Structure 1
């Protein structure tokens, strides 16, 4: 006997009478004609059936079973998913060979963004040579002691505050970590999260010299909103225009991700922002090196957010979709695109989520300016909510046991039973999840409410304009954090 998979979504397509059948675990998608779809809909509540009992559809039901849309009637799918998840968690000590470090060079910032923690916390910078050497020695002790046969990579994210305010920390720590990776034959890469104000020609080449290959820069909409949401602390000097000028000077060998923290006010200015990026020769002219992505704007606790117009998850989900269409139109109408293939709107699928490595990996850490070890980017400004450990000793995985034991499957009974658990990006940020659940809120994914309508919309669009839509295969998300920077 078989049964309808718990992780299925059966979506009627009203325009055609067909049905879309999607499985969250496998990522499989099938289009069913009306008769088969109606039959499958009748099978949804049944605890078990034999395909032979439906001779007109027996062959199709067996095919769908082979594709994972129907499973053995005795299978506890939730327990199976939980077991597979926990087995992968247990392997993280040996199979996870990546070292991920986020290093706060300073908490000082030249901006006073009302939704960020810099406006409410004291300013500190990493200047103590003992801390610099302590960070490097701590990681070398981990490389030597951990049960990993071969490390796959060591990645550093330079973070703040505005990390370029304290370039010397980047210089000194790079001078430790690059030779350390050469010594142990570990591939090295580095990136930086910066507001872009200090990205002068000199600093671009400083980053290249220190092997920084990726830059994240936040621009919150066009000038009229950006300069309000991300004001300079000094009244003098250009803000929005300065960032644009600096981005236009980005040298070859570096990639930039322009992050747009989005609320309703920011969303209204997105067409102007794209026009400005084009006028400065940033995007689409450099589309191979520059990506432009929206982020759901949220704020730190106690931040001054009175003038902001936050979106619900559902509103942001729809805004993302419309922004994708906006970018395609912009790219298509760009004169430099004359001899290129027209881009297609991607039909996105829910991504299988991994938990934030900074929190749950035994080999990922955030270091603050005083050498305190954190297991989340969001706590770097507050020693009181750090791990309580410092870098002036040797690495011991048991120091972080409470973080390593985080499980998205057992964090709450409601989350355990939710069919969207495997693709819930809200659960990926353990720090946020724990805080939200303590307040009686749930970090639910927007897919939970938006999947049926979005899939139906994209299927209809594919029928109407098939040459303009591409299906993007589901994949595992490499989750980092939602840090508003």
Structure 2
């Protein structure tokens, strides 16, 4: 009997440790005296404890090789061979805004010559999408950019939206919302029915960050367009991009949208994201702007906006032992949503680009050396790189197969990997240390909360 490969032990700093086994969906806090017995292999004289730890999955009687095979089978059994594909159409790499934190500069997309999808391209893409509906469970199209809803792309967007509707597909769009009113005729629950729109605070904050090169304000236009979309029966996910420069505008934005009745609307979702300054921005390196999601949540909670923290927790797992509070909530989230890959890129994402290439990741669009396929009049032609992406799963990557946090991390970002390593190694990028730090901090907050109650 030995410690399972998939058991993580984190010292909580108060004489106890967290035991976590993600494949077995177990988490418990136990005394460090028991941890010492586990790590020292000295549980032979403690039959009841040994039996409980074995039943929970923290200990195993399997050999190292057999347990790895068990893990591979466990993951494979939970992954459908025909996962629904996320179909996205990049209508352009151009944008009417020049936000300082935009990821597209980091990936080099701004350095690529401006490209715009043509109506002929749209016809070819719709034929390819039609061929995927039966085999990949396609339910919608996603419009992406750049800014996918530029006025000059009106005919292309309408062809995609109406063509998708004829195929029984709804269309989603990630848009800055500035030109949304130009597409009012296709805003509908059966056509362009779902939007992600960014607002970075009230006008005083937003209009300093999300602006065209002319510097013209955009906040009021976007608010009007959000209300237009809601009136048309379209769902809107409002996404503030937050760092230290505009964090004070987040509560103000919540109050503003609440006063307008937007937050109470049944078709509205509201969720902040944390952003890094763009490496090409002159502000990069001038002050520490970055805030972690946890820091933003703490800010909201301390200012009386705890209902708007980013965590979405579920209780679909076996046991949390003696835990409660924020640590338990965090572990519910981690345990109930196992990550077999880090994102949709390996198995689900298909991005059609203006140059006719197909990519798995939006950060790689426009880089032909990273293309996984081509969209042609005959349909999709797969390139060798597609198989490398398909192999990027925690049961296939060498270092992930024995990692006790693999199902919380998913193997890391493939867009940052070189081609040779893409289907071989996961990238931890400091995640194990970040995980332990967060667990310890949440446990400490829970203890302080109990003491002050």
State the TM-score, normalizing by the size of structure 2: 0.77
Q: Give the counterpart of 2:187 among 207, 218, 226.
A: 207
In the TM superposition, what is the alpha-carbon distance from 1:159 to its structure 2 partner?
0.8
In the TM superposition, what is the alpha-carbon distance from 1:391 to its structure 2 partner?
2.9
**Which residue in the other structure is 1:161 paired with?**
146
| Structure 2 CA distance for aligned equivalents of residues 460 and 84 of structure 1 | 39
Q: Give the counterpart of 2:27 among 29, 34, 44.
A: 29
8 Å contact 2:178–2:225 — kept in the other structure? yes
8 Å contact 1:261–1:294 — kept in the other structure? yes
Q: Give the counterpart of 1:394 among 370, 376, 379.
A: 379
Q: Give the counterpart of 2:125 among 132, 135, 138.
A: 135
In the TM superposition, what is the alpha-carbon distance from 1:161 to its structure 2 partner?
1.7
In the TM superposition, what is the alpha-carbon distance from 1:368 to its structure 2 partner?
1.2
**Which residue in the other structure is 2:435 paired with?**
448
2:66 paired with 1:66: no
Pairs within 5 Å for 1:330-341: none
Q: SS in structure 1 opposite 2:167?
A: helix
Q: SS in structure 2 opposite 1:215?
A: strand
8 Å contact 1:222–1:269 — kept in the other structure? yes
| Structure 2 CA distance for aligned equivalents of residues 275 and 421 of structure 1 | 39
In the TM superposition, what is the alpha-carbon distance from 1:158 to its structure 2 partner?
0.7
Relative to structure 1, the CA distance from residue 73 to residue 356 in structure 2 (aligned partners, 3 Å threshold; closer, same or farther) is: closer
Relative to structure 1, the CA distance from residue 441 to residue 23 in structure 2 (aligned partners, 3 Å threshold; closer, same or farther) is: closer
TM-align CA RMSD: 3.8
**Which residue in the other structure is 1:289 paired with?**
267
Pairs within 5 Å for 1:41-440: 41-47=35-41, 49-50=43-44, 53-54=45-46, 58-72=47-61, 74-75=63-64, 79-80=68-69, 83-84=72-73, 87=76, 95-116=81-102, 117=104, 119-127=110-118, 129-143=119-133, 148=135, 152-165=137-150, 166-181=153-168, 188-200=169-181, 203-204=183-184, 206-208=186-188, 211-236=191-216, 238-251=217-230, 253-283=233-263, 285-286=264-265, 288-298=266-276, 302=280, 305-306=283-284, 315-323=291-299, 325=301, 329=305, 347-349=329-331, 350=334, 351-355=337-341, 358-361=344-347, 364-387=349-372, 389-396=374-381, 399=384, 400-408=386-394, 413=399, 418-424=403-409, 427-434=411-418
| Structure 1 CA distance for aligned equivalents of residues 86 and 236 of structure 2 | 19
Q: SS in structure 2 opposite 1:325?
A: helix
Q: SS in structure 2 opposite 1:219?
A: coil
Relative to structure 1, the CA distance from residue 137 to residue 153 in structure 2 (aligned partners, 3 Å threshold; closer, same or farther) is: closer
| Structure 1 CA distance for aligned equivalents of residues 194 and 303 of structure 2 | 22
Relative to structure 1, the CA distance from residue 142 to residue 278 in structure 2 (aligned partners, 3 Å threshold; closer, same or farther) is: closer
8 Å contact 2:239–2:271 — kept in the other structure? yes
8 Å contact 2:100–2:209 — kept in the other structure? yes
| Structure 2 CA distance for aligned equivalents of residues 215 and 159 of structure 1 | 11
In the TM superposition, what is the alpha-carbon distance from 1:245 to its structure 2 partner?
3.3
| Structure 2 CA distance for aligned equivalents of residues 204 and 69 of structure 1 | 56
8 Å contact 2:245–2:289 — kept in the other structure? no
In the alignment, structure 1 segments of 5+ residues that lack a partner are 182-187, 333-343, 467-485
Residue-pair matches, total:
419
**Which residue in the other structure is 1:7 paired with?**
7
Relative to structure 1, the CA distance from residue 42 to residue 385 in structure 2 (aligned partners, 3 Å threshold; closer, same or farther) is: closer
State the TM-score, normalizing by the size of structure 1: 0.72
